[in-house]
Amino acid sequence: MGRWEPNARGRLAQAALTLYVEQGFEKTTVAEITARAGLTERTFFRHFADKREVLFYGSDMALGLLAGAIADAPASAAPIDAVAAALQAFSAVVQENPERARLRDAVVSANPELRERELIKLAAWASAMAGALRDRGIPALVASLAAETGIAAFKVAFTRWISEQGEPDLPRIIRESMEDLKSVLTDRAPV
């Protein structure tokens, strides 16, 4: 594949992910990624600040999608329902490429530095959703609780989806997890 062919970012991301799985994140160099993609290191650095960014480059899109979905939720939606709608919208995007999501998760899970970065990303998502809820007039404490709780439910649902290889419907799993969460919060368990 020549350097002039389209989708350099996608080719670099695929090459990086493949190498990270084959030989580990730490052992993979930018030179190896660009060689596998048939591109130059200069091209790599036009698209990514470093080799970690290959795994996190969609974060800005995710923030916008999550905040936008909350803004677009019906005015009558409870804060937790607006968060659920946002997470379902985002999960539909993730579901478009389940193999990439699973490989990415394996790479991130195997590296402490990347796991820390993943937690920072999830905190940014919660902050963006809380901000979108505050923009809807939701009090700050309630907005933060709804957003943080939604992220916890998302993490549980995503782990379930990753582990159930034949389960294609991540938005459904998110919806079920959010419903389970609501039942946990409203049902009184016997003591």
Angle, CA of 103, 108 and 112, to the nearest 5°: 155
pLDDT at 187 over 90: no
Distance set, CA 62 to CA 69, 107, 128 (Å): 10, 20, 10
* Separation CA 33–CA 141 (nearest Å): 44
Of 60-69, 94-103, 147-156, 181-190, the one with minimum mean pLDDT is 181-190
Residue type at position 148: E
- Model confidence band, residue 164 (pLDDT cutoffs 50, 70, 90): confident
The answer to whether residue 7 scores a pLDDT higher than 90 is no
pLDDT at 4: 53
Q: Domain ranges in the chain?
A: 8-54, 58-184
pLDDT, mean over the chain:
91
Q: Identify the DSSP state of 4.
A: T
Residue 157 has pLDDT above 60, yes or no: yes
Spatial separation of the C-alpha atoms in residues 4 and 38, rounded to whole Å: 10
The domain 8-54: what is its CATH number? Answer: 1.10.10.60
Q: Which residue type is seen at 115?
A: R
CA max distance for the chain: 67
Q: How many CB atoms lie within 10 A of CB 44?
A: 24
Model pLDDT, residue 189: 52
pLDDT at 161 over 80: yes
pLDDT of residue 65: 96
Whether residue 73 has pLDDT greater than 90: yes
Environment class of 42 (CB within 10 Å of its CB; exposed 0-12, middle 13-18, buried 19+): exposed
pLDDT of residue 184: 84
CATH number of 58-184: 1.10.357.10
Helix runs in 73-111, H state only: 79-95, 98-109
- Per-residue confidence band for 188, with pLDDT thresholds at 50, 70 and 90: low
